[in-house]
Amino acid sequence: MTPSQTNLSSAVLAVRGLSKHFGGVKALDGIDLHVAPGELLGVIGPNGAGKTALINTITGFYRATSGSIELDGQEISHLPMHQIGRLGISRTFQNIRLFKRMSVLENVLVAFKTYNQNPLRSFFRAGSARADIASAMHWLEQLQLADRADALASSLAYGDARRLEIARALAGEPRLLLLDEPAAGMNEAETAQLTRDIKKIRSSISSILLIEHDMGLIRALSDRIVAMDYGKKIAEGGAREVLEHPEVLRAYLGTEEEVTSP
Ligand SMILES: Nc1ncnc2c1ncn2[C@@H]1O[C@H](COP(=O)(O)OP(=O)(O)O)[C@@H](O)[C@H]1O
Ligand SMILES: [Mg+2]
């Protein structure tokens, strides 16, 4: 059975008829998609297609106008953001969001509940602190950042800062990881490293939804691709099928973005 044939009832994420309107703007306009267990779903589309709105609505940052969102069969579209996070969805942001005046390690530790319940002063006395630090260091190692653990987040190179966001998102051990243009602004070497890192973390996480403009990264990592334009799904399937789909080519035509990889 290919992932696209997976029974929807077994999907980690199932989105049905999802719409998010802002006045007259239909950021999402009846989106249907699912992510199967073990699957990495690539999501592409020109700027303004609704990709970030999709992540914002799945995570509860935006309230859906209509439609349903199920995580492991449980309806979550009415839940507040923190509860959706606790149920196992983490994300990274298109614009990096780190605590710049905290260390690299502390930026990962904020993912743990025990850390958030303890003021900084008492953190190192907390009973579960050691386990949290060990786990945070594990994720920093996975993203090649262990040797920068004590550095200030503000001192990180761009690619490292992006990878730190991913380490933090993984530290909560989510069922579903949502990555919003993780390679944006990265140079070629950084993108190649990111591709290797995402391949490596695949085995530690059930399912990933990856939004990307870098078609090399999308091709290298996606089991399946969904293309969006004007809030609608315009194509779905394997890389070749989607990247050569006439609707997809049309959507990218006349934009500065390219659907072909360099
Ligand atoms: N908070 C918001 N208020 C009003 N319009 C929004 C908001 N968020 C997104 N939009 C609109 O929704 C559309 C999709 O935006 P977005 O999801 O950011 O696109 P993408 O991530 O694919 O580039 C755009 O037209 C954008 O202007
Ligand atoms: Mg976006």
Exposed e or buried b per residue across 217-240, where buried means at least 16 C-beta atoms within 10 angstroms of its C-beta? bbbbbbbbbbbbbbbbbbbbeebe
Where along the chain do its domains lie? Answer: 3-97+174-252, 99-155
CA dihedral 66, 71, 73, 77 (to 10 degrees): -20
Q: Whose CA is nearest to atom 14 of ligand 1?
A: 50
Check if the beta carbon of residue 259 is closer than 8 Å to that of residue 45. no
Q: Whose CA is nearest to atom 3 of ligand 1?
A: 22
Q: Whose CA is nearest to atom 24 of ligand 1?
A: 48
| pLDDT 10s digits, 78-105 | 999 999 999 999 999 988 889 999 999 9
Q: Tell me: pLDDT of 122 over 70.
A: no
Task: Tell me which residues have their CB within 5 A of the ion that is ligand 2.
Answer: 51-52, 94
The pLDDT of residue 33: 98
Q: Please state the pTM of the whole predicted model.
A: 0.90
Distance from the alpha carbon of residue 53 to the mean position of ligand 1, in angstroms: 6
Q: For residue 147, what are its two tokens?
A: 């040797």
Q: Average pLDDT in the 21-36 region?
A: 97
What amino acid occupies position 180? D
As a whole number of Å, the CA-based R_g of the chain is 18
Distance from the alpha carbon of residue 95 to the mean position of ligand 2, in angstroms: 9
**CATH number of the 3-97+174-252 domain:** 3.40.50.300
Using 50, 70 and 90 to split pLDDT, how confident is the model at 121?
A: very low
| pLDDT 10s digits, 16-28 | 999 999 999 999 9
**Which ligand is the nearest neighbour of the Cα of 27?**
1
Q: Average pLDDT in the 121-146 region?
A: 79
Using 50, 70 and 90 to split pLDDT, how confident is the model at 4?
A: very low
